[in-house]
Amino acid sequence: MDYPLTKATRHTLPNGLTLILDPDPSAPVISVQAWVATGSIHEDKMLGTGLSHFLEHMVFKGTRDFSSDELAQAVQAGGGHWNAYTTFDRTVYYIDGPSHSLETFLKCLTGLVFFPTLPEADFGNEQDVIRREIDMGLDDPDNASIRLLLSTAFTVDARRHPVIGHRHLFDEISHADLVSYHRSRYTPDHTHIVISGDFDAAEARALVIAMTADCKIVSGPEPHIQRDPRQIGPRENTATFDIPTSRLCLSWKTPALDHPDTPAYDILAAILGRGRSSRLYTALRDRRELALEISAWTWNGPDEEGLFAISAEAEPEKRGELKAAILAELADLPASPLDEEIAKAKRQIAISQFRTLTSASGRASDLASNWHEARDLNYTRAYLAEINAVTAADIRRVSQLLTERRLTFTSLDPENFAHTAAVEEKTTTVEPVTTHTLSNGLRIALLPDHRVPLIHLQAAVGAGLLSETPVSNGLNQLLASTLTKGTLSRSAADIALSLETLGASIGASTGNNALLVSASGLAADLVSIIDIFADVIINPSFPSDAIEREKTSQLASLKEAQTDPLHTCFHQVRKTHFAGTGYGLDPLGSLQTLPEISRLDLSAHHALHFNASNTTLAISGDFNSTELIELLETHFSTLPEGEKWAPPASKVNPGKSAETTLPKKQAVLAIAYPGADVSSDDKHALAFINEYASDMAGPLFGRIREELGLAYRVGATQFLGYDQGLFTFYMATSPEQIGLATEELQKEIGKIASQGIPDEAFERVRSTVLSGAAIQQQSSSSNARHAALDLLFGNPADSYLLLPEIYQNLRVETVRETARRIFAVPPTVSTVLGEKA
Q: Which of 172-186, 456-470, 701-715 has the lowest mean pLDDT?
A: 701-715
pLDDT at 647: 96
Structural domain includes residue 405? yes
**Same structural domain, 453 and 599:** yes
Residue 785, in any domain of the structure: yes
Lowest mean pLDDT among 206-210, 215-219, 508-512, 564-568: 215-219
At residue 835 the predicted structure's pLDDT band, cuts being 50, 70 and 90, is confident
Query: Residue 435's pLDDT band (boundaries 50, 70, 90)?
Result: very high
pLDDT tens readout for residues 294-333 = 999 999 988 889 999 999 999 999 999 999 999 999 999 9
pLDDT at 427: 45
Q: Which residue has the higher pLDDT, 782 or 417?
A: 782
In 383-433, beta strands by DSSP E: 408-414
Mean pLDDT of 350-367: 94
pLDDT tens-digit readout, 798-834: 999 999 999 999 999 999 999 999 999 999 999 999 8
Are the beta carbons of 312 and 248 closer than 8 angstroms? Answer: yes
Whether the Cβ atoms of residue 25 and residue 198 lie closer than 8 Å to each other: yes
Residue 662 lies in a domain: yes
Looking at residue 468, its pLDDT comes to 97
Rounded alpha-carbon distances, angstroms, from residue 90 to 34, 40, 52, 53, 705 = 10, 8, 9, 10, 25
- Examine the domain organization and report whether 385 and 319 are in the same domain: yes
Same domain, 166 and 310: no
Distance (Å, whole) CA 511 – CA 603: 19
484 and 613 share one domain: yes
% of the chain residues with pLDDT over 90: 92
pLDDT of residue 426: 42
Show Cβ contacts of residue 567 under 8 Å, excluding neighbours closer than 6 positions. 561
- Angle (CA) 160-162-164 rounded to 5° is 155
65 and 31 together in one domain: yes
User: Where would I find the H helices in 419-561?
Assistant: 475-483, 492-501, 526-538, 544-561
Q: Are residues 36 and 128 in the same domain?
A: yes
Residues 250-265, mean pLDDT to the nearest whole number: 96
Mean pLDDT for the chain overall: 94
Same domain, 205 and 245: no
Going by pLDDT thresholds of 50, 70 and 90, the confidence category of residue 155 is very high
- Residue 419 has a pLDDT of 55
Q: Dump pLDDT digits (tens) for 58-102.
A: 999 999 999 999 999 999 999 999 999 999 999 999 999 999 999
Q: Of 179, 211, 243, which residue sits at a domain end?
A: 211
pLDDT digits (tens, 9 = 90+) for 159-169: 999 999 999 99
Residue 423 lies in a domain: no
Beta carbons of 512 and 573 less than 8 angstroms apart: no
User: Rounded CA gap, 29 and 775, in Å?
Assistant: 7
* CATH code (residue 107): 3.30.830.10
Q: Are 14 and 187 in contact (CB under 8 A)?
A: no
Which stretch of DSSP H or E encloses residue 704?
none
Q: What is the pLDDT of residue 429?
A: 56
State the pLDDT at residue 303: 82
Total count of domains within the chain: 4
Interval 424-443 mean pLDDT: 79
Is 538 domain-assigned?
Answer: yes
405-439 residues labelled b (16+ CB within 10 A) or e (exposed): ebbbbbbbbbeebeeeeeeeeeeeeeeebeebebe
In this model, does residue 836 exceed pLDDT 70? no
Listed ranges 132-136, 616-620, 735-739; the one with the highest mean pLDDT: 616-620
The answer, yes or no, to whether residue 646 has pLDDT greater than 70, is yes
pLDDT average, residue stretch 718-736: 95
Q: Which of 572, 604, 635 is the last residue of a domain?
A: 635
Q: Are residues 698 and 786 in the same domain?
A: yes
Same domain membership, residue 596 and residue 681: no
- Per cent of the chain over pLDDT 70 is 98
Q: Which of 32-41, 218-227, 728-737 has the lowest mean pLDDT?
A: 218-227
- pLDDT exceeds cutoff 90 at 757: yes
Query: At which of 635, 668, 692 does a domain end?
Result: 635
| Domain range for 323 | 235-414
Q: Is the pTM of this model over 0.85?
A: yes
- Out of 216-225, 566-575, 737-746, least confident range: 216-225
d(CA 629, CA 771): 33
Would residue 224 count as lying in a domain?
no
Mean pLDDT of all residues in 709-733: 94
Which pLDDT does position 1 carry in this prediction? 65
Is residue 140 in some structural domain?
yes
Give me the pLDDT at residue 559, please: 95
Tell me, yes or no, whether 625 and 661 share the same domain.
Answer: no
Instruction: Return the pLDDT at 837.
Output: 47
Say whether pLDDT at 430 is over 80. Answer: no
In 3D, which of 68, 38, 83 has the Cα closest to residue 181?
38
- Asked if residue 159 and residue 73 are part of one domain, the reply reads yes
Cα dihedral sign for 794, 799, 802, 807?
positive
Write down the pLDDT at residue 425: 42
Bridge partner residues of 35 (DSSP): 92, 192
> Which residues, 6+ apart, have CB-to-CB distance to 280 below 8 Å?
272, 273, 291, 294, 295, 296, 310, 312, 326, 329
Tell me how many degrees the CA angle 17-22-28 measures, rounded to the nearest 5.
125
Would 133 be classed as within a structural domain? yes
Let me know how many helices (H) and strands (E) the chain has, helices first: 29, 22
pLDDT at 218 over 80: no
- DSSP for 790-807 reads HHHTTS-TTHHHHHHHHH
Report pLDDT for 196. 98
Q: Tell me which amino acid residue 5 is.
A: L
Q: Angle CA(313)–CA(316)–CA(322) in degrees, nearest 5?
A: 60
Q: Does residue 439 share a domain with residue 408?
A: no
Calculate Rg over the CA atoms of the chain.
Answer: 27
- In this predicted structure, what is the pLDDT of residue 219? 67
The three-point CA angle 95-97-100 to 5° equals: 115
Residue 269 CB coordination number (10 Å): 21
Surface-to-core class of residue 528, CB atoms within 10 Å of its CB (0-12 exposed, 13-18 middle, 19+ buried): middle
Distance between terminal CA atoms of the chain? 59
HSE on the CB side for 643, CA within 13 Å?
Answer: 4
294 and 275 Cβ atoms separated by less than 8 Å: no
